[in-house]
Amino acid sequence: MGITGGIAAYKAVAVVRGFVLLGHEVQVVATEHALRFVGKPTLEAISRNIVHTDLYESVAEVRHVALGQNADLIVIAPATANSLAKLAAGLADDLLGNTVLASRAPVVVAPAMHTEMWDNPATVANMATISSRGVSVVGPASGQLTGSDSGLGRMAEPEDIVAFALRVHAASSAVSASSADLAGRKILITAGGTREPLDPVRFLGNRSSGKQGVALAVAAKSRGATVTLIAAHLEVPAPDGIAVINVGSAAEMLAAVESAQPHSDVLIMAAAVADFRPASVSESKIKKDSTGPSLTLELVANPDILVAAAQSARPGQVVIGFAAETADTEEALLTLGRAKMMRKGCDYLVLNRVGWSEGFATDGNTISVLDRAGHRVLDAEGSKLSVAHEILNLLS
């Protein structure tokens, strides 16, 4: 359990206690700044272990490496903007940095900072970097911050951090038992959101960030698969060691899928593909002074890539589709999913509910998966990486 120097460090005590009460052994690594907010005796009493702070303590035991090597799970709560920056850069100037670098255990961070710091481009870039490396993120939540401030940046509640971290560990343990179970499989994944041009300046698009598709690519590669990623306007870095085909529109994605599908064993359509495109595209910018106070656009349907892929799949080739719906209830979501499965004809359909603040551009996901017969074969919730592994378990 890493604790860094933010006011939310007082809540880290409850996180430690939550793990201890569930029977886990907790070793606390607190930074020098963390101890300005919460006392070492408190952390030792709650964790029932000596709190480690100094990079140079127990050098003969190589403590700075041993802690990370022996860990089954690393949780950093709170994770300040500074600690996230150091994590992204791979710095090891203190005991916590060394512990993380010396460990192969899954890492969970619970960010906590003021809204302006969370929204700063530097923090956004650092979060994208650590997420692309498989670090799982819980929170932050919206609420009261230090002083009179209120907004996004509040550390997730201790019980939520404990539950989330244990789900990440469970998913990681299941994968490590068969870490090369997809060796020899060729997996084609689509990710991101397509854009349909209106003119040289504007387009019709959607809010997909590509995080879930990228997480699937990272997870599949870690399990031995050869992965090709068809990427449409990703907001996160494409993972290293994976072939990437960049596309823009639905038509370009269709062409890429048709070209690559025959050479793949599995196709996972995680991208958000536009259902419609403008009937005509202006060669010059559409100007308000030439259209008047209103503008009417005629849209035409795009080809259904998932239907085409399902129909052209060869025997034994697995096709997995995604369906993002704005259903009000879980039952309504399943009803929409079963109707869509009848139309699409794929092997599995991953359902998730989306809205103004859920589904798109978030670090976590909640899904249900239907098979060809409409049976619910999987429910998963957690970081997009842990959800990706749950989906890939269907292929094992």
**DSSP-derived secondary structure for 273-309:** --SEEESS--SSPPPHHHHTT-----EEEPP-HHHHH
Asked if the bond preceding 158 is cis, omega within 30° of 0, the reply is no
Contact 73, 106 (CB under 8 A): yes
Distance CA 52, CA 359 (A): 38
Looking at residue 52, the DSSP 8-state letter turns out to be B
The alpha helices in 185-319, defined as continuous H runs, are: 211-222, 250-260, 288-291, 305-312
- Does residue 215 sit in helix, strand or coil? helix
- Residue 111, Ramachandran bin (φ over 0: left; ψ between -120 and 50: alpha; else beta): beta
Name the E strands within the chain.
2-3, 29-30, 74-79, 107-111, 136-137, 141-144, 150-154, 186-192, 196-197, 203-204, 226-232, 243-247, 266-269, 276-278, 299-301, 318-325, 348-353, 364-371, 376-383
Q: In terms of Cα–Cα distance, which of 138, 220, 209, 135 is closest to 186?
A: 220
Catalytic residue list: 206
Contacts 24+ apart (CB under 8 A), 44-50: 46/13, 46/16, 46/17, 46/20, 47/1, 47/16, 47/20, 48/20, 49/25
Amino acid identity of residue 156, one-letter, is: A
